Homo-oligomer: A and B are copies of this chain.
Amino acid sequence: MAVQERPAEFAILGLLEAEDSGSHGYDLARHFAAGEPLGEILRLEPGMLYHHLKRLERSVSVTSTTSRSGSRPPRQTYRITEHGRNRLRTWLQSPVQHTREIRLDFLVKLYFAERLEPQLAVRLIETQLGTLRELRDSLAARESAGVADPFLASVLELRIAQTDAAIRWLEQLQQTPSTHESRNHKAGMP
């Protein structure tokens, strides 16, 4: 697995971006539970969630403040930083490079792009379509150039079929734009 993917960390950043007042671990955890839309594509157990929060703090993408309300156990309230916001925005604008990443990485990007700034989602779908079309064309070129091994030919056909399916799905997304109300839409992320 390539270094620097970590859709989970960007998902956490995305949740914090939508919460001006910050959020704490247990609160964030609910979004990753079964039944929640985000939980349907990305499951995150408490252990890993708290681990990611520590990592994000180390990379200065979030800051935390300890607060005890009454006699409850103390909470770590996390807020996204300027640096975190920049990383998030860059990530949300970058299409995934491989068809297999559509299922997880791209869906997470789409989820937050739609919720944070619908225009971002429109552009993301466009650039992702461009990337996948290039990929499809390069696969098709390899196929028509002739593949010696019949097994490898099948593999190529599978990849083309999966990529085409993703392309058609994206085209359909483009035509039936999200009716999602941008409840958390802010004037614009920096």
Contacts and interface: CB of A to CB of B under 8 A. Distances in A.
Interface of A: 37, 40-41, 100, 102-103, 107, 110-111, 114, 149-152, 154-155, 157-158, 161-162, 164-166, 168-169, 172-173, 178-180
A107 B168 CA distance: 24
B103 A162 contact: yes
Given A37-B149, A100-B100, 10 more contacts: A37-B151, A37-B155, A103-B158, A110-B154, A150-B180, A154-B169, A161-B165, A161-B166, A161-B168, A162-B162
8 contacts: A40-B152, A40-B155, A41-B155, A100-B100, A107-B158, A157-B169, A157-B172, A161-B165
A162 B102 CA distance: 10
Nearest to A154: B173
A111 B155 CA distance: 10
Nearest to A115: B151
